[in-house]
Amino acid sequence: MTYYAQASNLGWSAVEQVNNVGNGVIRQIFYAKYINWVVAFPSLALAMGLISGVSWTTIVCNIAISWIWVISYLVAAFTPSSYKWGFFAFGTFSLLILAMSTINESREAAALLGIQRDYMVLSGWLNLLWLLYPIAFGLTDGGNRIGVTGSFIFFGVLDILTVPVLSFAVLFFARNWDYLKLSIAFSDARPSRESESEIKEAPRASSDIASTV
């Protein structure tokens, strides 16, 4: 939906830029992509937290930090003065906190569950891409060094590698995970294959007991 809106030339505002020679330079700032990140980045933080087995307190904190990161960048993009870099600094600092949490603390929790290798591959890939977003922002909505079309391509590639590719990677590694051990077997309340087999193998009541009942 985000890229449909951008391709339809919707979801943007005109913002004056300050890092250019001369005055009155206007840039299209597409706030639609920030709305996408407000949903996508906390979802990724939630997924990493559920996989690693960290506490819900850590997961909620990581979700909140990801919101601070995205909102800080949004405010920076719409600030028509050099003060934008202050908001950029707040957002980037939040990103570094999020990276330390999803790499260090979560790695220790994942090691206790026996999936440290898989988790490090996933979190390493995610954080490598996340660290490219400040560079992309500084060249596009922040510094206006790359045009709007180039911004679409830059962020588009990052978004695809971050969300869809990481999602398929999780599905690939999840084939060997024990969901009960990871405490993410959310469908336990519904009949599982194990419970169905137990029902089939359970001895049936005799005819005498059945008739008595």
| Position 115 confidence tier, pLDDT thresholds 50, 70, 90 | very high
The secondary element (H helix, E strand) that includes residue 16 is strand 12-16
Count Cβ atoms below 10 Å from residue 160 Cβ, excluding itself: 13
Asked whether residue 198 carries a pLDDT value surpassing 90, the answer given is no
**Is 127 a residue whose pLDDT tops 90?**
yes
* 191 CB-contact burial (10 Å; exposed 0-12 / middle 13-18 / buried 19+): exposed
201: pLDDT strictly greater than 90: no
Whether 77 contacts 15, CB under 8 Å: yes
Mean pLDDT, range 194-208, rounded to an integer: 51
For the stretch 162-189, pLDDT in tens is 999 999 999 999 998 988 888 887 665 5
What distance lies between CA 100 and its chain's CA centroid?
A: 15
Q: Has residue 39 got a pLDDT over 60?
A: yes
Question: Residue 12 in 3-state DSSP?
Answer: strand
Q: What is the dihedral of CA 105, 110, 115, 121, to 10 degrees?
A: -20
What pLDDT is recorded for position 105?
87
- Beta-carbon contacts of 53 under 8 Å, excluding residues fewer than 6 positions away, are 109, 110, 112, 113, 182, 183
**What's residue 180's pLDDT?**
85
Placement of tokens 């194990």 in the chain:
194
User: Any idea how long the chain is?
Assistant: 213
- The mean per-residue pLDDT over the stretch 63-76 comes to 98
Residue with tokens 């990581």: 62
Statement: residue 3 has pLDDT above 70: yes
Of the given ranges (13-27, 135-149, 190-204), which has the lowest mean pLDDT? Answer: 190-204
Give the per-residue pLDDT at 182: 85
Higher pLDDT, 128 or 108: 128
- pLDDT given for residue 85 in this prediction: 96
Structure pTM?
Answer: 0.84
- Integer Cα distance of 117 and 54 in angstroms: 16
Contact indicator for 29, 144 with CB cutoff of 8 Å: no
Query: What value does the mean pLDDT take over residues 1-13?
Result: 94
What distance lies between CA 6 and its chain's CA centroid? 21
pLDDT at 190 over 60: no
